[in-house]
Amino acid sequence: MSSRFSLAVFLVSTAVAAQPTPVTPLSIGSANTATADPTVPRPKTTPCRVRLFTDMKFADFSPKSFAYAPPSACPGPWQKVVLEVDYSVEAGRQFDRTATLWIGGVNVYFGTTAEPSRPPNPVARAWHIERDLTEYGELLQAPSQGRAELGNLINDTYTSSLWGTAQIAFYPGSKHADDSGPAVADLVLPLSASATGGTVALFDPTAELSATFQLPRNVERAYLDVVLQHQGANDEFWYGCVPTHLKDKLQSCSGTAFREGQLSIDGQPAGVVPIFPWIFTGGVDPYLWRPIPAPQSLNFVPYRVDVTPFAGVLSDGQPHRFAIQVTNNSQYFSTTATVLLYLDHRSTQVTGAVTQNTIGTPSPAVNEDLKTDPATRTVTGTVTTTSSRQFVLAGWVKTSHGRIRTEVVQTIDFSNVQQFVSPRSFPQTFVQNIRQSTAISSTTKVQGSSRSGESNVRMSWPMEMDVTMNYDPSGGFVSQIGKVKQAYNRVDSTGDSSSLVSNSGEWADTYPTRQGQSGSQRFFFSDSEDHCFSRELSASAGVLTSIVDGKGCDN
C-alpha cells in the first residue's frame, strides 16, 4: 500500500528477535496501538471457546490453513457468537498489511495491521479485534476448512514478522424461534476467490466480484455484507484523486475522487455500496497513527445491502448471478461479499416479483476551478466531485404467513472538494486540502408480516485532510505537515427503538520532525434501552496521554 501520501523516505530498521507481543490494557504513557472501540457485548452466560490458531507467524504471502469444528460442549444454536483475534507486529520496519480470516470460504474478518517503530525507539505493537458472528451462526454448525491471510515480506529492509491468535466464543442459547431471539441467517454463502476463501482483486471498472448460486425455493429475506478495500497507488487514496487529464498538473492520482460499488443480480441493478475512506497506518504520514489509528483501520465494518425485494425471484429454482463492480476503479480493489438468506420454514416454495427498481447507474459530476500562473506555472484552485443518488427497490413475496411487500428507499449524497497549490519550480510548497462527505439515508418499509413497519438507517462519513509538502531549491524533500479529521456516524431506528454509533478522531503531525504530533479518538454508542458506551483517547509525541470513559453516558 503506497502512493505520494505514503512517504517512501521514511524508515531504516534493525532486526529484533522473532516473537509475538501480548495485548495489554490501555495505559497512559504507552506507545502501543490504542483504540477506543468497545468489545462486542456479551450475555452473562459462560461461553465455550474454539481455538482457530495460536501464535501463527506471518512472514510470507502464503495463506495459512486451520481446521474449524463447532464446540462439542455447546452445540448450536447459540445466543451469541464472537470472533476474538489478537495480532502483533515485531519492532522494526514493516508496511501496514491486509489481514483476513475465512471459515468455509466465508469472510469473518477483514482489516489492516499497525506499523511498528524502528530503533532507536523500537515499539512492537499488539492489538485486539472482535467481530459479532451471531448472524453467521449457521455457517459454524459444521466442521470446515479455515484460512488466515496476512501477506508479509521479510528481508534486510522489512524486518518485522506479524503474529496472530484467534478463537471464537460461543454463548449457549436458542435460535430465532421468536422476535426476542438473535437473528441468525438460515444460509450463509461466500463471494470469494475459492472454496476456502480469499479476496478477489478488481483492477478496472469492468472487473467483477461475482458468484452464481442456485438457491432454496423459500427465500423470504436476503442481504449482502460487502467489503471493497481500496489499494494501489491510484485507489488507496482515491479521495485524493482527480480527473485523469489533471493527474500530472496536480501531481495526484487519476480516476476522479469518486468510487462506488454497484451490485447486480442477473445483470439487473440490485444495490449500491458506498465506500468508506479507510486510512491505513502507513497512510499520509505513519506518525499520525501512533499510537491511535484512524476509524476502522484495523477492523473494517462491512456495508450491508438489503436485496429482500428480490426474494421471490431468487426462489424460482434457477441459477442467479450476484456481481459487484467498482465505479472509477483505476487500479486495485481487494473485495469480498457474503450472502445471508432467511427462509420461510413452513413453505417449500414461495413466489414473488420485483415491482419497482429505479437504481440505475451513477453519474458523478466534476467541476474544475483552476488557474495557472504563467510565470511560475503554479496551478491553484479547486476540483469538486459530487454525486447524488435517489432510488427505490421494491418487491413482494408470497409466503406461508401471507404476502409480504418490502420497499427500500435510499438516498446517497457524496461530495469531495479539493483545494490545490501545485507548483512546478523549486523551492516549492505543494498543498492539497480535502473536504469529503458521504451521507446515506435508507428507509425500509415492510407490509404483511409480523415484521411490518418502517426502519431507518442514517450514516454520515465526513473526512478532512490537509497536506502541505515543502521542497528545497534542489527539489529535495524538506517536510510534510499533515492534519486529518475523520468520522463514521450511524443512527438506526425502528418503531420505538433506536441506536447511535459515532467513531471519530483527529490527528496532526509534521514529518520528519514530529513537531505537534498528536492524535485522538472518541467512540460513543447509545440506544433506547439505556445502553451506553463512551471512551475518549488522546495521544501526543507517540504515546497515550489520556483515557476518559463514560463521558456523555450520564446525561
Which H helix or E strand runs over 494? strand 477-494
Indicate the pLDDT class of residue 10, thresholds 50, 70 and 90: very low
Indicate the pLDDT class of residue 13, thresholds 50, 70 and 90: very low
Residue 538 and residue 520 in contact, taking contact as beta carbons nearer than 8 Å = yes
Mean pLDDT across the stretch 504-513? Answer: 97
Query: What is the SS3 assignment for 14?
Result: coil
Predicted confidence at residue 174, as pLDDT, reads 58
For the chain, give the percent of residues with pLDDT over 90.
91
Predicted confidence at residue 451, as pLDDT, reads 83
Residue 168 and residue 52 in contact, taking contact as beta carbons nearer than 8 Å = yes
Reply yes or no: is the peptide bond before residue 291 cis, omega within 30 of 0: yes
- Structure letter (DSSP) for residue 135: G
Please, what is the Cα angle at 286 between 285 and 292, to 5 degrees?
A: 115
Nearest CA-CA partner of 231 in 335, 324, 101: 335
pLDDT higher than threshold 80 for residue 121: yes
Name the least confident of 3-12, 97-106, 339-348, 532-541: 3-12
Strand positions, DSSP E, 360-452: 365-372, 379-399, 402-422, 428-447
For residue 360, count other CB atoms closer than 10 A to its CB: 12
Q: Where are the alpha helices (DSSP H) in 112-243?
A: 232-235
What pLDDT digit, counting tens, does each position of 451-477 carry?
A: 899 999 999 999 999 999 999 999 899
Name the least confident of 77-86, 134-143, 174-183, 198-207: 174-183
Mean pLDDT across the stretch 176-189? Answer: 74
Strand positions, DSSP E, 266-378: 268-274, 303-306, 319-327, 332-343, 351-357, 365-372
Exposed e or buried b per residue across 466-501, where buried means at least 16 C-beta atoms within 10 angstroms of its C-beta: bbbbebeeeeeeeebbbbbbbbbbbebbeeeeeebb
Predicted confidence at residue 6, as pLDDT, reads 42
Nearest CA-CA partner of 226 in 277, 307, 279, 301: 301
Mean pLDDT across the stretch 278-282? Answer: 98
Dist CA 334 CA 150 (whole Å): 13
Residue 201 and residue 229 in contact, taking contact as beta carbons nearer than 8 Å = no
The neighbouring-strand residues paired with 103 are: 106, 146
Indicate the pLDDT class of residue 181, thresholds 50, 70 and 90: low
Strand positions, DSSP E, 192-298: 200-202, 209-214, 219-231, 260-265, 268-274
What residue has cell string 524486518? 159
Predicted confidence at residue 447, as pLDDT, reads 96
Predicted confidence at residue 555, as pLDDT, reads 61
Number of helical H runs and strand E runs in the chain: 2, 29
Q: What is the mean pLDDT of the chain?
A: 94
Query: In angstroms, how far is CA 205 from the centroid of its own chain?
Result: 20
Query: What is the SS3 assignment for 349?
Result: coil
Q: Which residues contact 334 (CB under 8 A, 6 or more apart)?
A: 98, 199, 200, 201, 202, 229, 231
Dist CA 73 CA 336 (whole Å): 32
Give the full edge-to-edge strand order of the sheet including 162-172: 48-58, 162-172, 78-89, 125-132
Indicate the pLDDT class of residue 425, thresholds 50, 70 and 90: confident
Query: In angstroms, how far is CA 39 from the centroid of its own chain?
Result: 17
What residue has cell string 524533500? 477
pLDDT higher than threshold 80 for residue 383: yes
Dist CA 295 CA 300 (whole Å): 9
Indicate the pLDDT class of residue 450, thresholds 50, 70 and 90: confident
Predicted confidence at residue 11, as pLDDT, reads 31
For the chain, give the percent of residues with pLDDT over 70.
95
Residue 260 and residue 2 in contact, taking contact as beta carbons nearer than 8 Å = no
Mean pLDDT across the stretch 328-357? Answer: 97
Q: Tell me the residue length of the chain.
A: 555
Indicate the pLDDT class of residue 211, thresholds 50, 70 and 90: very high
Q: Note the pTM of the prediction, 2 decimals.
A: 0.95
Query: What is the SS3 assignment for 303?
Result: strand
Predicted confidence at residue 3, as pLDDT, reads 41
What pLDDT digit, counting tens, does each position of 307-338 carry?
A: 999 999 999 999 999 999 999 999 999 999 99
